[in-house]
Chain A
Amino acid sequence: MTLLALDAGNTNLTVGLFRGEHLEHLWRIATSHRRSSDEYGLDLIGLLRRWGLRLEEVQACAMASVVPSLNAVLVEACRRYFRCEPLVVGPELRGLPSSCYDDPRTLGADRLANAVAAWSRFRTDPRALAAGHIAVVDFGTATKLEVVSIAGEYLGGAIAPGIGISAGALYRHAARLPRVEILRPAQVLGRNNVNAIQSGLVFGFVGQVEGLLERVAAELGRAPFAVATGGYAGLIAGECPTIQEVDMSLTLTGIRLLWEWNRAA
């Protein structure tokens, strides 16, 4: 079975092509509120063709979106170009963790997918079993944290400003600061403004996650097993002693799992 999974975030539309459980391709397209279903459809077709795939190979589509204005656009693109009705991730699907969220309808589809994928992948992992809880940190436009128990209960989470948008806002507000490439500097102490900002971004965002996970551990009485995903996971997670795994395709995997558990029999 070949599935096209779409994860529409505020910065990127991430596209995954699964053959069975295997993620064969992962593509990213910039999110734009102005693009039509035909434009997104053409992007998707173009990518498939470029990688030697035929449209007819796509048998199903599933999507998670946190951009309300894109929902209808992407559903239409799936109908028109792949001739299928996409599964849209939402709180009414089967297989979701039992939720402690006040109103599950307000929990972002990407957060749901992350929680589902992390629980499904790690609930039998000895490290996660010993910890009792699984935490997912998604380093995207926003840094998002979800905590799920081994028993499959969603306990809550956090949403914090992400590294990219925070850096952008810093440059806009502080007239005298230079734009920098987001890299780990050799030293924490910056002796010029470029290194000082790199240090603040990299180590500051390591601290953002460490600060949150430290408080989660204090509240639960035990440190959770922590897995990271999202665009900046590669840069930040390596500096975070509390993060044990990085899985760049976690959100897409969650979308695939929900599709499998909910596809019409």
Chain B
Amino acid sequence: MLLAIDVGNTEITLGIFRGRELLQHWRVGTDRNRTADEYGLLFTLLLENSGYPPGQVEAVVICSVVPPLSPVLEAASATYFGHAPLLVGPGVRTGLVIRYENPREVGADRIVLAVAALEKYGAPCIVVDFSGTATVFDYISAGGEYLGGVIAPGVETAADALFQFASKLPRIELVRPKSVLGRNTVTSMQSGIIFGFAGQVDEIVRRLKAELGEAQVIATGEAAELITHETHTIQTTDPFLSLDGLRIIHERNRTPRARRTTGDREEGSQG
């Protein structure tokens, strides 16, 4: 069994695979203060509670956008599962050609999603990752190359900023209001946040397509469910795309050197 761990700025998503099948998945909050022992224990308990003995984990693959947590999770993996994990980053074979000015600038999370989208849905495609922190759009060309993307503030981050800065505004529940024309402060904010955010996504997707050509659009991430059915441009939602990406990258790095395929064309530091 393979344990895949995707560390985001607000949440950590975990999945356990047997072959290509995602057997179970979990989400836990990202806490920069937790130790390797705490994470090790937490992951072990999650697995045990779902009936998967931690001893059956044969490999661990990690992607992290929180640099201080990378060594913590590497230590947790080594101590609690007995394996040095594969940490996605420079030097790891992904099979993705990256046409970013500086490929090292592309977050590991974006590479993992692009790898998964390309393999599962084909190209050209746009991946929209709704983490609560940022909404990240990535364009993969018809030739299967990662071209770049757009980074916008995430819905939860922006809404929190609004509650903090505007002293007269209350903290509200993010649900869809009946009308775009709010008639009290709560419904006005629900309208502005939900419909305004859906508009952001549609505008960026439309402009990317106008600039680069038609592409299928795949949404993923924690906040995807809240927004995607309000948008006009998103066809597919795949909440565990990052876990599939981690599994694919694990497979591409399992056999050293012997099994180079055409998918191993590399660009820059990701090679």
Contacts and interface: CB of A to CB of B under 8 A. Distances in A.
Contact of B102 (A174, A192, A207, A212): A192
Given A10-B165, A177-B151, A190-B148, A207 B182 contact: no
B139 interface: yes
B188 A157 contact: yes
A189 interface: yes
Interface string B105-129: 1010000000000000000000000
Interface in B117-150: 133-135, 137, 139, 147-150
7 contacts: A145-B192, A160-B193, A161-B161, A193-B105, A196-B148, A206-B203, A210-B199
A248 to B, nearest CB: 21
Contacts, number: 222
Nearest to A11: B165
A4 interface: no
B151 A159 contact: no
B179 to A, nearest CB: 6
A197 B151 contact: yes
B180 A208 contact: no
**9 nearest A-B pairs in the assembled complex, by CB-CB distance:** A211-B199, A207-B203, A156-B181, A160-B192, A200-B152, A169-B161, A158-B192, A161-B158, A160-B196
A47 interface: no
Interface stretch (B204-212, B236-244, B254-262): B204-212
B161 A166 contact: yes
A50 interface: no
A190 to B, nearest CB: 5
B154 A66 contact: no
A146 B147 CA distance: 39
Interface of B: 9-10, 65-67, 99-102, 105, 107, 133-135, 137, 139, 147-154, 157-162, 164-169, 179-185, 187-189, 191-193, 195-204, 207-208, 210-212
Interface stretch (A53-61, A74-82, A102-110, A120-128): A102-110
A191 B148 contact: yes
A207 B208 contact: no
B162 A161 contact: yes
A252 interface: no
A190 B180 contact: no
Interface in A191-226: 191-193, 196-197, 199-201, 203-212, 214-216, 218-219
Contacts of B66: 175
B176 to A, nearest CB: 11
A30 interface: no
B204 A141 contact: no
Contacts of A166: 153, 157-158, 161
Nearest to A177: B151
A101 interface: yes
B196 A211 contact: yes
- Which of B164, B169, B191, B193 gathers the greatest number of chain A CB atoms within 10 Å? B191
A144 B150 CA distance: 24
A158 B191 contact: yes
- Which of A69, A191, A201 gathers the greatest number of chain B CB atoms within 10 Å? A191
Contact of A141 (B153, B165, B191, B212): B165
Interface in A127-173: 141-145, 147, 155-162, 165-170, 173
A161 B150 contact: no
B207 to A, nearest CB: 4
A187 B182 CA distance: 35
- Which of B189, B200, B210 gathers the greatest number of chain A CB atoms within 10 Å? B200
A67 interface: yes
Given A160-B197, A204-B152, A219-B181, 5 more contacts: A158-B180, A176-B107, A190-B150, A204-B203, A208-B203
A214 to B, nearest CB: 7
A103 B185 CA distance: 9
A103 B197 CA distance: 26
A66 to B, nearest CB: 5
A219 B134 CA distance: 30
A190 B153 CA distance: 15
A6 to B, nearest CB: 17
Given A10-B166, A158-B188, A190-B149, A203 B67 contact: no
Given A68-B167, A142-B166, A170 B154 contact: yes
A217 to B, nearest CB: 9
A79 B169 CA distance: 29
